[in-house]
A and B are shown apart, each in its own frame.
Chain A
Amino acid sequence: MSVVSEKHPEMLDGQTHKHTISLLVENKFGAFNRIAGLFAAKAYNIDSLTVGPTEDDSVSRMTIVTRGDDGVIEQIIKQLNKLIDTLKVTDLTHENFVERDLALIKVQTTTESRSEIMQVVEIFRAKIIDISSKTVTIEAVGSQQKIDAIIKMLKPFVIKEMARTGRVALKREFQGEVD
């Protein structure tokens, strides 16, 4: 489920495709703002953007899920490369990559619904990490599609609150299915 092996990007409408771009940037004051600002200034879409440290303290990795036709994606990659703080830009879309999204979902429960919710949690191999008489909080990890799916299943029970990380991704080295 969590291995994205499609060689072709997810097709949206017509010419528009979803792309996952991974970039390494200098871990410097303002670097994040520069990148977020670039997307705003050039009116590029951002589906999700994550940022965090890497194995090297001086470098941060950002994973951006964006969409656009080939020309727009080409410009996004060129413009990201043009920023002085950018070390490396990789469009993972055309490669095999592993991805994860994490969601914390607080769902309203009643005595009757609780066991049904726990079944959903089990099917998706998610976890219950907090519980009260009226709610459970679920931690779900997986591909964006998997998270979308569990959210869809939980919606009828009334989702009180939710937090999602957005996609983090790395290029796959092993070209088979591990998980």
Chain B
Amino acid sequence: MNAARISFTNRDVTMPHQKETSPPSQSRLMTGSEIFVRSLIAEGVEIVFGYPGGAVIGIYDALHDISDIKHILTRHEQGAVHAAEGYAKASGKPGVALVTSGPGATNTVTGIADAYMDSVPIVVFTGQVPLKLIGNDAFQEADIVGITRPITKHNYLVRDVNELATTIKEAFYVATTGRPGPVLVDLPKDVMASKATFDYPKKISMRSYNPHVEGHMKQLEKAIALIAKSKRPVLYVGGGAILSNASDELKEFARKTRIPVTTTLHGLGSYPENDELSMGMLGMHGTWYSNTAVHYCDLLIAVGARFDDRVTGKTEAFAAEAKKIHIDIDPSAISKNVKVDVPIVGDMKKVLAKLIPMVEALDTKDWLQTIKQWKSEHPLRYRNGKLIRMQHVIQKIGEITKGNAVMVTDVGQHQMWAAQFFKYIHPRTHITSGGLGTMGFSLPAAMGAAFARKDLPIISVSGDGGIQMNIQEIATCVENKVPVKIFILNNGYLGMVRQWQELFWRKRYSQVAMFSPDFVKLADAYGCPGFRASTTDEVEDVIKSALAVKDGPVIAEFKVVQEDNVYPMIPAGQTWNEIIDFPEEELSNVAGEDLESEELVTLTKG
């Protein structure tokens, strides 16, 4: 909250068509809708993604003359919630969505579930039918509080206008503190029309909610003892590093102790991948060497990570020989999937800051040498050729932007390749739907991220499947001149499902081939530039042309080879022993490819 805002909030927000019946003062009665708008301003909200409707028409009326809050009219409520997520992930500030009752509210469900799985601080405001009609099957009524109870960190139904401001304050407090998450506030129409005095609480305390942020000193000492004894330690870093803005502390800790770092999908960017201690991502499609290092380590330090099944495979065999330290702000994340030796409940930034002066440099020279050897023997690989490989597009984006871009990916093969073949250097430059795996996430999330980061190119990367799940948001980008680079990696398939069908279902390609529109013509129809690359030598030009577009979105379609597989791969629920590295001996089997022009490309993280 800055001074400018405060001065504005003190101005009166009486609508032009309303008669001023009482002098503008703090004690003036305001409608719930006015209180809502004032509360958002007091909370420092700059942007709201939303969609109006009958139950929120009063709120939209109150928003109409407010210049402090920008409202972005999305083309679907799911888009509004993903945009709020993208904004939150890119900025670290809470994202806000505002929708109407009934279908407006139910359309937010996927986005809310996505934010819950990935601990994204968003507050979703939903309209609701008047209190006396609740339960009557009224027009556009849905029990959204009941529907979202298991997928929100907390939710509220506001029953009294006098509780509105405090509830909004609480909603933002709960969403952004502890392990962040989505909070939903349901706003009945009559409550928003009734009046109360506006008094936005400056501070809030809740007797039933006090997240523990400082690590317990006794536990820290136990951790230090384990670290000191370790010969082959590994730092396994998750999204908590980004959420708690702990990158600097992480770098200092790793460099002081000389412990190699692997990150989860959501941890990408928390530790620079051009640093020698980096091993890139671990897990099902992680690098060979990070998974191998975890397999052979004698100490695994999990920080802000939750031992997700895409990371561990079979839990009993995951780092089975290693002692384990687990730092997490959520006590329920500890020992949920894997038993650990030293749990530390606390905010990662604070805990690492306390640990740094306590640790001593370790002699990990031999261990790092071994990892270096693994890196040279098992780098990330793909076969490049005349026809475009997705890996090549990702690698080129990385080279051209030098890692200075926000990559917002969708779900599937391209998502894994984007995690592998782009070197993430800065936190909050990799945004994706990890936990829920929501196709259609990328475009609206990139749109939200674009409002948070004006300093970097925002690149939405989708497959031909995912882009068609929220393609309507192109219109929102065009209308608001949102500079999103919409990169579509089109292989004509739901590639990841096809890969599983190839490897585990005897190549029975059931319902994975997919028709798409002409994306360049579509760009034209929406009124934005469109480019297409059909061969590898066109890739660089198309990327550069797309990056050169300044005032608004651009679509770049890459016609990539139809059948290609993501490697390395540890099949679901299996162990490190089952890891499939890149099958170098097999020739790629790409129709129309000139085998003479094929070359093996390698990339190493760290």
Residues in chain A within 8 A of chain B (CB atoms): 25-26, 29-30, 33-34, 37-38, 41, 71, 74-75, 78-79, 81-82, 84-87
**Bound complex: CA A38 to CA B154 (Å):** 13
Residues in chain B within 8 A of chain A (CB atoms): 145-146, 149-150, 153-155, 157, 159, 174, 206-209, 330-332, 334-336, 339
Q: Which of B145, B154, B209, B332 is in CB contact (< 8 Å) with A75?
A: B332
**Minimal beta-carbon separation of B318 from chain A (angstroms):** 16
**Bound complex: CA A74 to CA B336 (Å):** 9
B146 touches A81 (CB 8 A): no
A82 touches B331 (CB 8 A): yes
> Which residues of the other chain, A, contact B332 by a CB distance below 8 angstroms?
75, 78-79, 81-82
Q: Can you list 12 residue pairs at the A/B interface with Cβ under 8 Å?
A: A25-B208, A29-B157, A29-B159, A30-B145, A75-B336, A78-B334, A81-B331, A82-B331, A84-B154, A84-B209, A85-B154, A86-B208
A71 touches B335 (CB 8 A): yes
**Minimal beta-carbon separation of B145 from chain A (angstroms):** 7
> Which residues of the other chain, B, contact A41 by a CB distance below 8 angstroms?
150
Supplied contacts A71-B335, A75-B332, A84-B153, 16 more A-B pairs, CB within 8 Å:
A29-B157, A30-B145, A30-B155, A34-B149, A41-B150, A71-B339, A74-B335, A78-B331, A78-B334, A79-B332, A81-B331, A82-B331, A84-B154, A84-B208, A85-B154, A87-B208
**Chain B interface secondary structure, helix, strand, loop or mixed?**
mixed
Give 3 closest A-B pairs by Cβ, nearest first: A78-B332, A84-B154, A41-B150
User: With contacts A84-B154, A84-B209 known, is A30 near B149, CB below 8 A?
Assistant: yes
> Which residues of the other chain, B, contact A75 by a CB distance below 8 angstroms?
332, 336
**Minimal beta-carbon separation of A65 from chain B (angstroms):** 21
**Minimal beta-carbon separation of A41 from chain B (angstroms):** 5
A38 to chain B: closest residue by CB: B150
A33 touches B330 (CB 8 A): no
Q: Which of A30, A38, A74 is in CB contact (< 8 Å) with B157?
A: A30
A81 to chain B: closest residue by CB: B331
**Minimal beta-carbon separation of B291 from chain A (angstroms):** 25
B183 to chain A: closest residue by CB: A84
**Minimal beta-carbon separation of A100 from chain B (angstroms):** 27
A37 touches B149 (CB 8 A): yes
**Bound complex: CA A33 to CA B154 (Å):** 12
> Which residues of the other chain, A, contact B330 by a CB distance below 8 angstroms?
82
> Which residues of the other chain, A, contact B157 by a CB distance below 8 angstroms?
29-30
> Which residues of the other chain, B, contact A33 by a CB distance below 8 angstroms?
146, 149
**Bound complex: CA A41 to CA B150 (Å):** 7
**Bound complex: CA A71 to CA B339 (Å):** 9
> Which residues of the other chain, A, contact B146 by a CB distance below 8 angstroms?
33
> Which residues of the other chain, B, contact A25 by a CB distance below 8 angstroms?
208
> Which residues of the other chain, A, contact B206 by a CB distance below 8 angstroms?
84
B150 touches A26 (CB 8 A): no
**Bound complex: CA A81 to CA B333 (Å):** 12
> Which residues of the other chain, B, contact A81 by a CB distance below 8 angstroms?
331-332
A87 to chain B: closest residue by CB: B208
A87 touches B207 (CB 8 A): yes
**Bound complex: CA A63 to CA B330 (Å):** 24
> Which residues of the other chain, A, contact B145 by a CB distance below 8 angstroms?
30
**Which of A25, A30, A71, A86 has most chain B Cβ within 10 Å?**
A30
**Which of A34, A41, A78 has most chain B Cβ within 10 Å?**
A78
**Minimal beta-carbon separation of A79 from chain B (angstroms):** 5
**Minimal beta-carbon separation of B591 from chain A (angstroms):** 47
**Bound complex: CA A20 to CA B22 (Å):** 58
B174 to chain A: closest residue by CB: A84
**Bound complex: CA A75 to CA B337 (Å):** 10
> Which residues of the other chain, A, contact B174 by a CB distance below 8 angstroms?
84
> Which residues of the other chain, A, contact B153 by a CB distance below 8 angstroms?
84
**Bound complex: CA A41 to CA B157 (Å):** 21
**Minimal beta-carbon separation of A129 from chain B (angstroms):** 36
> Which residues of the other chain, B, contact A29 by a CB distance below 8 angstroms?
157, 159
**Minimal beta-carbon separation of B281 from chain A (angstroms):** 27
**Minimal beta-carbon separation of A105 from chain B (angstroms):** 35
A85 touches B149 (CB 8 A): no
**Bound complex: CA A174 to CA B339 (Å):** 36
**Bound complex: CA A159 to CA B330 (Å):** 48
> Which residues of the other chain, A, contact B150 by a CB distance below 8 angstroms?
37-38, 41
A25 to chain B: closest residue by CB: B208
**Which of B155, B330, B332 has most chain A Cβ within 10 Å?**
B332
> Which residues of the other chain, B, contact A78 by a CB distance below 8 angstroms?
331-332, 334, 336
User: With contacts A75-B336, A78-B331, A78-B332 known, is A26 near B208, CB below 8 A?
Assistant: yes
**Bound complex: CA A169 to CA B208 (Å):** 22
**Minimal beta-carbon separation of A62 from chain B (angstroms):** 14
**Minimal beta-carbon separation of B307 from chain A (angstroms):** 13
> Which residues of the other chain, A, contact B336 by a CB distance below 8 angstroms?
75, 78
**Which of B150, B153, B334 has most chain A Cβ within 10 Å?**
B150
B331 to chain A: closest residue by CB: A78
**Minimal beta-carbon separation of A43 from chain B (angstroms):** 12
**Bound complex: CA A38 to CA B150 (Å):** 7
> Which residues of the other chain, A, contact B149 by a CB distance below 8 angstroms?
30, 33-34, 37
> Which residues of the other chain, A, contact B335 by a CB distance below 8 angstroms?
71, 74
B207 to chain A: closest residue by CB: A87
> Which residues of the other chain, A, contact B209 by a CB distance below 8 angstroms?
84
**Bound complex: CA A34 to CA B157 (Å):** 14
> Which residues of the other chain, B, contact A79 by a CB distance below 8 angstroms?
332
